[in-house]
Structure formats: C-alpha cells, structure tokens
Structure 1
Amino acid sequence: MARLFGTDGVRGVANVDLTAELALDLAVAAAHVLGEAGAFGRRQPTALVARDPRASGEFLEAAVCAGLASAGVDVMRIGVVPTPAAAFLVNEYRTDLGVMISASHNDMPDNGIKFFSRGGVKLSDDLEDAIEQHLGEHWQRPIGDKVGRIISEPHAVDLYVAHLVKSLRKKKPLSGLTVVLDCANGASYQTAMLAFEGAGAAVTTIFAKPDGTNINAGCGSTHPETLQRAVVSSNADMGLAFDGDADRCLAVDHEGEIVDGDQVLAILALSLQEDHRLASNTVVATVMSNLGFVQAMKANDIRVDQTKVGDRYVLESMNANGFSLGGEQSGHVIMSEFATTGDGVLTGLHLAKRVVKTGKTLKELASVMTRLPQVVINVGNVDKLRAGIDPEITSAVSDANHELGESGRVVLRPSGTEPVVRVMVEAPTMDKAEEIAQRLAEKVRTRLGR
C-alpha cells in the first residue's frame, strides 16, 4: 500500500481522500506517537493549529483540534496564516507540536495536513511512519480535567510580521521601492502587505481577498501572468507572487519577466557570500535546479550541494551540515538564520533589500545566471511508483543523458505531492529539450499507463 505521508505531509481531495475522520485520527495518532516518544515530557502537552483560507480547512481544523484535545493536548488555534508563520510560531510559543492545514499551491478542492515538532521543524520520516501505523489504534484516552482545552490566539499575525521586518536588520530598508504583491488569495493576504509596508516599501496588492474558494485560482506563483502585467502597467520596481500557503515565491522584474527560484537563490547566495554569512560557502539545491544555476555558482566559487526534490531534503542537508541557504526552483527558499522552513514573504523581503542595497534592477541581479532551456512534462494517469524501476524507462533515461552529454541532463521522477510522473529535460536548445521530453513522456505513458 502506498505511504500515506508524501514529501509534504498528507494531501488529497478534501472530503474524499482527506476526510474529517482521517484528520481527527491523524491528530490523535500524532499525539499518541509523540507522547510515547517522550516529546511532551510530563506536563500537559500543547499544540498550535493553523490553516490556509480553503473552505475545507474549516472542518479539517475543527477535526484536528478535536482529535488533539481528546488526546489530552491543549490547542492554540491561530487561524489563517502562512505555513512558515505556523513553523515560526510553534517555536515562538514553545508548543510541543504544530499542525498546518494546507495544500500549498494545489487547486482549491485539495487540502493537506503537515506536522511540526517542537522548534517548528517538520517531523522525520520515521515519526510520520509511526503516526500512520497508529491510525485508529485503541489506547487509553484521558478523562476529566486531563483532556485538552482549545483557545484562540489573536496576536499571532502581528508577532510573525514583526519577526519578518526585524530580519532585515535596518529601519525601513525598502524605502523608495515600489512592489506589487500577488497573494494568491491565500494565507499571505495580510502578512505580505504588512511586512513590506513595515519595511518601507510602497505596496500594491492583487489577489488578496480570499473567500475560501478562490485560492490559487489563476493567480499566485503558479499563474503569474496578471502580476507580470501589473508590474509593467504600474511602473513598479518588481513584483512577487506567493503560493497559497506562502512558503514559496517567484519574482517579476520591472520589465515583467519572471525571475524563478533558481535565480532568486543565486542572488541571495551572492548577497550572503558578500556579507560573509553563507555558511561553508555552500548553497543547497535539488536535482531539479537548472544546470545554469550550478554553473553560475561554480563561477563564483560557491559550492552546490544537491539533494532529492522536496524542501524537507534541502532542510535535512542544511541542518546536518550547518548550511545557511537552500531552496528549490519553485521558489521555495530556506534561510536558516531566520526560519526553519521555506518562507516566501521572508525571501521576497531579502530579495527586495538586495535590489535597494545594490542599486541594480532585479533584471540585472538575475543575469548572474543563464537558464538552460528546460522542459518539464507532468505525465498523469500512470503508476508513478514504478517510474524508477521500470527497465525500459530507466534505459531510455540513460540513453537520453548519454545523448546530451555535458550539455544537458534528464531527471525523471514521481511527484511527492501530485499523482504524476515529472519528466524534466535540459538541453542546449528548446527544440532539443522538447523533443527528448516528449519522447520520454510517451515512454512513461506507454509503460505505466493505467
């Protein structure tokens, strides 16, 4: 049976794959497992629960809170905040557990549940597996005054925004900068504007009116077209597009061109290197990062440590080696000096600060790397778990990599968050990349189609 937890928690269509019953059971199992692991000590355990604005988040939040309280955990409801805000607040309020209810950049019908342990760190694979194994298990529940209580915390947003602004280490460092923020009708609809205005920028927001059904709908980091037009039409210096839970962002320069996560990571790496704050002169990226990023870092004597796809693997490398910067092409950037997970608003603030500090446009800063033509095809309706073991597919990938040599590469892998196989090809020309990608995608459909 497939593992319930993916690379970013438990996800699925709300009320189909992810039901209120499953949410309650996950919360109870998490309390049970972490209690057995000694994570709670001997006092009454505490948890923080947050969500993005999806309509389904309301009943899932109620179920999670009920499950935790029934297991003897005191619950602090934060309401709608970004995922990185939840991680930060778990540490700030010193709760034993954090729960974020969000499907990030996925479409509105989806939702998800991810857990944070004390300090705002995502749970290990072993703990997630243990939670899955304890689902529905009978155990002695607390009664009387040992059951948990549920309270709401109204000041959480202000605390998080103050932390973001403070990370810039200067009063009003973005004064004179004009920025357009696309909040994806998601969890950053308050925090992004408050943080950028607090840092001194002149801010225009778009898609900042979530109604529970419009999250990520034709907007945000997966649909930045409106933002691109808005930046140009308003003569803004730059734009930033967040996803539904604001753990990632993509940027737009003053000419309306996209600046992707690899370019953002490159700009921040050079900034930290200049300030002697790039630990071990190393940046962490994944195997999906553009080859142009790796080449640019090498040209600037910065080492790149590449991991499997998924921010958890980037973070694992950072924690294990003491690195200070890592991220993904999707715009998921982790600055470990200030956060335990990717934070789109934090990333955007520091990117904007670099623009002001250097006096260069974002377009000029992004030119530090040249992106190789890259094609990504998501192949759906296939058995994605066989992608890495089917002999004809592995042979086709090997042949394609041999064909490209040092001028490009192929990465073929099952998605950790969606029911698809991703085929990524980089090549000297777009035509070549598309030709090889289509060839491999067809091989996947033929071999793995349901």
Structure 2
Amino acid sequence: MSGARSFFGTDGVRGRVGDWPITPDQVLQLGWAAGRILTADNGDHPRVVIGKDTRVSGYLLESALEAGLSGAGVDVLLLGPMPTPGIAYLTHALRADAGVVISASHNAFEDNGIKLFGPGGRKLPDEVEAAIEVQMGEPLATAEPARLGKATRIDDAGGRYIEFCKHTFPKDLTLEGLTVVVDCAHGATYRVAPQVLRELGAEVVEMAARPDGFNINDEVGSLHPEGMAAEVVERGAHLGMAFDGDGDRVVFADANGDIVDGDGALYLAALEMQKRGELDGGVVGTVMSNLGLEQALAESGIPFHRAAVGDRHVFQMLTDNNWILGGEPSGHVMCLTRNTTGDGIVTALMVLAELARTGQALTEAVAGLTYYPQTQVGIRLSERRDVSGVPEVAAAIREVEAELGGAGRVVVRNSGTEPKVRIMVEGRDEARTRELAEGIAEVVRAEMGAAEA
C-alpha cells in the first residue's frame, strides 16, 4: 500500500474492481490487518461476520477477506447476499467482534467496496480503522497452524433478518389489502424485502429481483424509481418502493406514480413515532433536506436540525442531541431504536405503519409536506479547490440569499469524493431558482477553473 494514499474514506473504501484499492491483494491485506487488530484486542479466535450484495466481484472479495481474516486467527461467519443493515443487525445478534459489508451501494456493478462494523453493529471507531491502516503496512505473516481461523456459513441469515424487520412493525397493525410494487434493484434486498411484506399481509409485485451479478442498480432501484412508479400505475397498486443495491435506502411512489423521496419517508416516520410516543426529541436532516420538510415538522411541533451531507454526520448529530430519527433526501433514513444504521426495509415499514394506522393513501399522508422547488448544479473542477475560500463565489451566494430572504436557501459545497462543487438553490419559484443556481454556477466556473464549459 502506498504511504501517500489513505485506504479508508469517510465510509469505508470504494472503487472500481481491479484498481487500487479494490484489488485482491489489498483486500487480503485488509482482512489480515483487521484480524491482527482484533486478535490483539479480543484474544484468540474473535469472530467476524461477512455479508455482501449481489455484484459478481463479491465472490472474489469475500474469498480474499476470508483468507486474510483466517490467516490472522479469526473465525469467519459468512452470510451471503444480505442488505447492509442486515449485516449490522447480525453482527450484533451473533455477538460478533466485527462485521464486514462488501458493497458499493448504489454504484454500478463495476465498483465494489468494503465497510466495517464494530461490536453491536455500529460503525467501527476511527481509532480502530487507523490501527488497521497502520497494520496494513506490515508484512503479512499468518498465525500458527493451530491458531488459524475457521469459516462457517450461516444458512438462516436471511430468515433471522426477516424476523427482525417484522418485529419493528406494530403488532396491532396489518398490511392486508395492500398491493405494493417492490423494486429490489437486483441487489441485496431481493430475497428478504418481498418476504417481509408478504408475511405482514401485503400483496407484493416484485421488480428487479433477479440479480445476475451484473445488473445491480442498472436503471432500477432508488436512483431510477421511474420504472417502479410506472409499474404502480399499470398494476393499479396502492404504492411502490425502490431500494438501492445494498438496501439501506428506499424511495416511494404513490398510486398516481408520483415519487416520494427520503424527505417524505422521514416526515411520515416522524409522525408515526410521534403519535405512538416513541419520538424522543426531534429529527435530523441534512443541508440538502427540503425546506418544506422543516416547515411541515414544525407544524407538528417536531424540532428539526440540519447536519452536513452524509449518514455519518446525521448519526453524529443524533448522538450529540440524544435523538433517534434522522435521514437524507436520498432515502437513507435511520432510526436508532430499531437499527444502528440506515435500513431501507425498516424505513418502509415505518411509512407503511403510518398509512395503516391512519387509513390514508400515500398521496394523502404526505399532503402536509409541500416541497420547495430545488435546482442542483454540479461543476467539475480542473483541480480540487475549496469553494469557501473564493470571495467572488461568497458574494454571489450573498446576493441570492438576499433575494430569497426567508423563502429559500442556498447550499454551495465541495464534493467529498470528487473535484466538484455542488450548488443547490431552493425557493418558491422553480424557474427563478434555476436562474439563480446558474448564476452562481457561472461565477464558480469563471473563478475556480472548471474542467467543463
């Protein structure tokens, strides 16, 4: 591993398979290094859970991780295809010392990634990741033959997670009489999500539930919910839902085929929890959450705070405030009394519980949430540069904010993964927000060396 490059990013490591760092030798080294740290902290034969999504490269990376961990003296529990939140849950339920997710979430099949959970299914502490990264720089040396780890396949992993999800749905409610289109993105939810909903009484129309290793997220799932929405209308279903490849996100469509994003899911989940007396405190969104969500929650007496973009920032603000519910417009919603990370299936059940409790259709249930039009523009830069240090951009932002007053917002930020500036302008008038966003974009292009016209 090059000392000039950091292995772990803000949420594990991700990239194109075959390119550094998603190569068999690096993943083998990662498994061994993680195993060495675990054996040092937990004695002989700690246990690590490994789960994956449906990418063809999952076989390769799973084998490399298993070899590295076993070589360090760690026993491995193999879950097979399993949503990321299911891996977090089973890390806790199986009392494992760590969990590993092999997934690139909503990316195409060519990419893959590794994310680590600590005991209890929570994110691995930064200091442990740092220790693993230091260990990766050491020569790989296997444990003595008598101390090598074993691997065991957990055949009932899917059934365990299905039961967990069902237990988050109120026992006094049912989904009987409901027809739901379920788009599994040819990903990790393809076995479990339809089964959960059927066992709770729903009639399920499956979509994108035939993974072949290459079709994950391919024009389906939460990033491409249009097909799911069309299927809802064609089938005359009550609503539909689309998960992403690893199952930690979900977005919806109502009976008319209109999309309800993560802000809508978060709104309904908050109402459901509030009415049951389960909402302790307020709700955390991000700077990209729609102003309409903030206003709708305020009308229900629910406080709302904004974190930076990214689930780790949402989780941190929830922890700091001792709150339990938060999420992002992408459909990544977390309820910390139900799971330790975002869980698409559990989020869907929270939304469905609100509909079942009120007897409302999804269209009616979200009527109290009025979205403000948002325009988003991404500018790729010729080199990475901090937008907050450019006076001309700051002046352009101030001008737009002055025009919008309290009836809109401006967010201009650097991408966390690319040399890009992302611009979002939100206001009452869609055409004007587009003009204002493009005005800021012109200043960014002129002052920051854009790589594109």
Question: TM-score if structure 1 supplies the norm length?
Answer: 0.94
What is the Cα deviation at residue 367 of structure 1? 1.4
5+ long unaligned stretches in structure 2:
none
Residue 32 of structure 1 is aligned with which of 20, 30, 36? 36
Going from structure 1 to structure 2, the CA distance change for 1:227 and 1:419 (only over 3 Å counts) comes to farther
Question: Aligned partners of 1:100, 1:193: CA distance in 2, in Å?
Answer: 22
The answer to whether residue 193 in structure 2 is matched with residue 192 in structure 1 is yes
Deviates more, 1:137-146 or 1:216-225: 137-146
Question: Aligned partners of 2:74, 2:449: CA distance in 1, in Å?
Answer: 44
Residue 23 of structure 1 is aligned with which of 22, 27, 32? 27
The answer for the alignment partner of 2:346 in structure 1 is: 346
Give yes or no for contact 1:49–1:100 (8 Å, CA) kept in 2. Answer: yes
The answer for the alignment partner of 2:269 in structure 1 is: 268
Superposed counterparts of 1:148-187, under 5 Å: 148-170=149-171, 173-187=174-188
Question: Aligned partners of 2:28, 2:390: CA distance in 1, in Å?
Answer: 37
- Whichever residue aligns with residue 206 of structure 1, its letter is M
Q: Deviations over 1:271-293 (max 9, x none)?
A: 1111111002x111111111111
What is the Cα deviation at residue 339 of structure 1? 0.5
1:122 aligns to what SS in structure 2?
Answer: coil
What is the Cα deviation at residue 426 of structure 1? 0.8
Going from structure 1 to structure 2, the CA distance change for 1:419 and 1:223 (only over 3 Å counts) comes to farther
Question: Aligned partners of 1:172, 1:300: CA distance in 2, in Å?
Answer: 23
Question: Aligned partners of 1:351, 1:411: CA distance in 2, in Å?
Answer: 28
Give yes or no for contact 2:271–2:354 (8 Å, CA) kept in 1. Answer: no
Deviates more, 1:319-328 or 1:178-187: 319-328
What is the Cα deviation at residue 137 of structure 1? 1.9
Deviates more, 1:355-364 or 1:163-172: 163-172
The answer for the alignment partner of 1:8 in structure 2 is: 11
What is the Cα deviation at residue 441 of structure 1? 3.2
Deviates more, 1:269-278 or 1:165-174: 165-174
The answer for the alignment partner of 1:411 in structure 2 is: 411
What is the Cα deviation at residue 87 of structure 1? 0.4
Superposed counterparts of 1:218-229, under 5 Å: 218-229=219-230
Superposed counterparts of 1:46-445, under 5 Å: 46-138=47-139, 141-170=142-171, 173-280=174-281, 282-380=282-380, 382-384=382-384, 386-416=386-416, 420-445=420-445
1:246 aligns to what SS in structure 2?
Answer: coil
What is the Cα deviation at residue 33 of structure 1? 3.8
Q: Deviations over 1:145-174 (max 9, x none)?
A: 112112211110000001111111317711
Question: Aligned partners of 1:178, 1:377: CA distance in 2, in Å?
Answer: 37
Going from structure 1 to structure 2, the CA distance change for 1:283 and 1:72 (only over 3 Å counts) comes to same
Q: Deviations over 1:92-130 (max 9, x none)?
A: 101001110111111221111100000000123343334
- Whichever residue aligns with residue 316 of structure 1, its letter is Q
- Whichever residue aligns with residue 178 of structure 1, its letter is T
Give yes or no for contact 1:27–1:67 (8 Å, CA) kept in 2. Answer: yes
Question: Aligned partners of 1:31, 1:341: CA distance in 2, in Å?
Answer: 23
What is the Cα deviation at residue 21 of structure 1? 1.7
- Whichever residue aligns with residue 337 of structure 1, its letter is T
2:252 aligns to what SS in structure 1?
Answer: strand
- Whichever residue aligns with residue 409 of structure 1, its letter is R
Deviates more, 1:23-32 or 1:320-329: 23-32
Question: Aligned partners of 1:30, 1:378: CA distance in 2, in Å?
Answer: 37
Question: Aligned partners of 1:377, 1:129: CA distance in 2, in Å?
Answer: 35
Going from structure 1 to structure 2, the CA distance change for 1:144 and 1:277 (only over 3 Å counts) comes to same
Going from structure 1 to structure 2, the CA distance change for 1:72 and 1:378 (only over 3 Å counts) comes to farther
Report the RMSD for the aligned CA atoms in angstroms.
2.0
What is the Cα deviation at residue 217 of structure 1? 0.5
Give yes or no for contact 1:266–1:368 (8 Å, CA) kept in 2. Answer: no
What is the Cα deviation at residue 138 of structure 1? 3.5
Give yes or no for contact 1:386–1:448 (8 Å, CA) kept in 2. Answer: no
Question: Aligned partners of 2:391, 2:269: CA distance in 1, in Å?
Answer: 40
Question: Aligned partners of 2:301, 2:225: CA distance in 1, in Å?
Answer: 32
Question: Aligned partners of 1:43, 1:99: CA distance in 2, in Å?
Answer: 19
Question: Aligned partners of 2:57, 2:222: CA distance in 1, in Å?
Answer: 22
What is the Cα deviation at residue 391 of structure 1? 4.1
Question: Aligned partners of 1:131, 1:382: CA distance in 2, in Å?
Answer: 33
Give yes or no for contact 1:6–1:416 (8 Å, CA) kept in 2. Answer: no
1:119 aligns to what SS in structure 2?
Answer: helix
2:284 aligns to what SS in structure 1?
Answer: strand
What is the Cα deviation at residue 380 of structure 1? 3.4
Question: Aligned partners of 1:382, 1:369: CA distance in 2, in Å?
Answer: 39
Question: Aligned partners of 2:122, 2:208: CA distance in 1, in Å?
Answer: 30
Question: Aligned partners of 1:24, 1:132: CA distance in 2, in Å?
Answer: 13
Question: Aligned partners of 1:294, 1:179: CA distance in 2, in Å?
Answer: 28
Q: Deviations over 1:247-292 (max 9, x none)?
A: 0100111111001111110111111111111002x11111111111
Give yes or no for contact 2:381–2:421 (8 Å, CA) kept in 1. Answer: no
What is the Cα deviation at residue 360 of structure 1? 0.7
Deviates more, 1:382-391 or 1:84-93: 382-391
Going from structure 1 to structure 2, the CA distance change for 1:43 and 1:72 (only over 3 Å counts) comes to closer
- Whichever residue aligns with residue 36 of structure 2, its letter is H
Deviates more, 1:394-403 or 1:243-252: 394-403
Going from structure 1 to structure 2, the CA distance change for 1:189 and 1:205 (only over 3 Å counts) comes to same
Report percent identity of matched pairs.
Answer: 41
Going from structure 1 to structure 2, the CA distance change for 1:254 and 1:82 (only over 3 Å counts) comes to same
Give yes or no for contact 2:410–2:423 (8 Å, CA) kept in 1. Answer: yes
Q: Deviations over 1:177-222 (max 9, x none)?
A: 1100000111100011010001110100111001010000111010
